[in-house]
Amino acid sequence: MIQLIRGFKDILPGEVELWQEIERISRELFETFGFKEIRIPIMENTELFARSIGEHTDIVEKEMYTFPDRKGDLITLRPEATASVVRSYIQHKMYAVDPVRKFYTIGPMFRRERPQKGRYRQFYQINAEVIGVDAPYVDAQLIFILATLLDRLKISDVAVHINSLGCPECRPAFRKALTALLEDKKEDLCADCLRRSSTNPLRVLDCKVPACREAMADAPPLLDYLCDGCANHFASVQRTLNGLGVPFVIDKQLVRGLDYYTRTTFEIQTGALGAQSAVAGGGRYDGLIKMLDGPDMPAIGFAIGFDRLVEIVGLKQVDFEKTPRLFIAALGEDCAEKAFDWVCRLGLAGIHAEMDMAVRSLKSQMKQADRSRAAFVLIIGESELASGNAILRNMRTKAQSPIAIDANTVKNVIAHIRPHAT
């Protein structure tokens, strides 16, 4: 038997309805705040991710699904969405019409990580990006939108963590201090961090190995090295969040795992996921668009781990499962022909109706109606044809009503079952 590839999953009927509801709530919120959906391809040239994410990140070095096509060009299944959104913004010269853009996208990403609870090799993200505005109000608004979304999804036990990663003006002094500390901590670092300490020392702060985290516990906070511009920006973000009533924690150890981040960075952490506590995160990437050969435009965004979100969402899956409004139990071929016609006409009227195409016994069909959790059953057999009335049964109250079998049967059924719709 052929089975799933390790690290991939099926989203089955019964579960997918909850995913659809999360998407609906997300889309509604984003569009209320002026975001427009963008749909990006799942494959890009490998160079896009190597340049944007950083050649010395774990994602590029270890986790990307990269392979040559038939012409030998390297292509990659997207490991994240921001780089693709930025590529699209540049390629289609969206900045020429209006440089300020708000995008959201929902879809699958791919990384060859060790599969664990809430983390898959094909995983799903909800992303939001704002391009063209450097004001700290935008930073605060994105965090506010993210906190609002989690509240609407009835997710509790969450905390907003924020930090500033500075800019090219203030990072060199911090890098010098951090490099000096790393030199003293060589004996305590893992092999990856020893390599990173010379190529990208800031990445050492993002290591998840407990020994490395302990060794770096007394690392100098980047906040102590911020230039006046970055310090003022971060202070304004904090004031605005306080004004919006969004509680937050200043997390001096918070470092996002991608090279393109600058200034404000943030995560939503929860105690509901064990050690994998982050359910969403993001930050500014003011230099990325220019780095990818576009105009010098500021930008900020976030990503939500959809798979993790589903595990902690307060919505009940059963509330969103779709069940038929009506099941038609037909006995005999003459009745089945009428039932089939009604099912199709009800579908055109927006009523989900089902029938037993095999035309089995009434007992079998009533069991099938129960399993489908249909709200009503319409029964038609030889005796109903003879009397000219089918029987409509309310499956909750067990009350029964006659429905005339004529040219208006579908209209009469709709009149009986629509007022009871929930």
- Does the structure show a pLDDT above 70 at 312? yes
Tokens, residue 363 = 């007992």
pLDDT tens digits, residue range 322-352?
Answer: 899 999 999 999 999 999 999 999 999 999 9
pLDDT tens digits, residue range 70-89?
Answer: 999 999 999 999 999 999 99
Q: What is the pLDDT of residue 284?
A: 95
Question: In the beta sheet, which residues pair with residue 212?
Answer: none
How far does CA 71 lie from the centroid of its chain? 34
Pairwise CA distance, residues 55 & 36, whole Å: 31
Q: What is the pLDDT of residue 271?
A: 79
The model's pTM: 0.87
Helices (H) and strands (E) in the chain, counts: 16, 16
Tokens, residue 203 = 């990445």
Tokens, residue 75 = 């292509």
The string of DSSP letters for 199-244 reads H-GGGGGG---HHHHHHTTTPPPGGGG--HHHHHHHHHHHHHHHHH
Q: What is the pLDDT of residue 355?
A: 95
pLDDT tens digits, residue range 375-406?
Answer: 999 999 999 999 999 999 999 999 999 999 99
Q: What is the pLDDT of residue 422?
A: 40
